[in-house]
Amino acid sequence: MDLELLQKMDVQVIVGVAVAVLAVGAGAAYLLSSKKPKGCLDPEKFKEFKLVKRAQLSHNVAKFTFELPTPTSVLGLPIGQHISCRGKDSEGQEVIKPYTPTTLDSDVGHFELVIKMYPQGRMSHHFREMRVGDYLAVKGPKGRFKYQPGQVRAFGMLAGGSGITPMFQVARAILENPKDKTKVYLIYANVTYEDILLKEELNGLATKFPDRFKVYYVLNQNIDFDDIMTDTEMWAAPMNKAMTDHLEALGYTPEMQFQF
């Protein structure tokens, strides 16, 4: 696929890498409210949150739901930022790793993490051993990205593997805010179809917001880029320095990019 296609879209590009990684009802008004409730996070010290549900999504991916202090509590995580989670590896040594929840502050009373657990991953061991009733130590918020509704006409998102979690968080925040008309274009790369995380949730956003959200799944195996949806004007590749160099070569300055 020709990289020149990227030049045809006036978007700010967000490059996502795997640093981690729904309920709208009662908390939906949060996105519209000027008075935001105080969050539960502390940027200086770890706080513990109870695991109340664990759902196995595949052989190595699970969704963890953690309870907040009250049914109306919010985590207090700004859009596009992440949390630091603390645990112990297989040797009993402390490990800290950043993750991005797939929930927003409109999801009151709880937050969720979708975790891909790698065989040799130190923090993966901690999550693999977690059971309902256990507690996770969390600190935050962390991150440099700050999104303001309507700051650009469209966001172009490039994500690979578990790097989808910050993208999903930002996309939800944009699309579920009726005052934000920003369009979102997401290219999501994985090795195989089975590796795609949050597939149902992403397809749900595409169905609910057909004029504002489009997602294109790219696999590393047997891909013919010419077969990707003919109306797309974006291109995606594995998330690395080469990708950033390509974007800059096409005129996307460092100020127009953000790497999670």
**Domain 3-16+147-259 top-level CATH class:** alpha beta
Q: Using CA atoms, how far apart are residues 148 and 24, in angstroms rounded to an integer?
A: 20
- The region, left, alpha or beta by phi > 0 then psi within -120 to 50, assigned to residue 50 is beta
16-67 pLDDT tens trace: 433 222 222 333 334 444 456 789 999 999 999 999 999 999 889 999 999 9
How does pLDDT run across 87-122, given as a tens digit for each residue?
Answer: 999 999 999 999 999 999 999 999 999 999 999 999
For the chain, the 3-state helix, strand and coil shares in percent, each to the nearest 5, are 25, 30, 45
28-142 matches 3-16+147-259 in CATH topology = no
Q: Which two tokens stand for residue 42?
A: 């502390």
* pLDDT value for 155: 84
pLDDT at residue 85, rounded to an integer: 98
In this prediction, residues 55-82 reach a mean pLDDT of 94
pLDDT confidence tier of residue 6, bands split at 50, 70 and 90: very low
Q: Is the pLDDT assigned to residue 203 strictly greater than 50?
A: yes
pLDDT at 223 over 60: no
| Average pLDDT of the residues in 2-23 | 38
Query: Which pLDDT score, from 0 to 100, does residue 54 have?
Result: 98
Report the amino acid identity of residue 233.
E
What's the CATH fold of domain 28-142? Elongation Factor Tu (Ef-tu); domain 3 (2.40.30)
Mean pLDDT of the chain: 79
What DSSP character marks residue 228? S
Could you tell me the residue ranges of all domains in the chain? Answer: 3-16+147-259, 28-142
Give me the half-sphere count of Cα atoms (radius 13 Å) on the Cβ side of residue 162: 19
The angle at the Cα of 92, spanning 89 to 95, to the nearest 5 degrees, equals 45
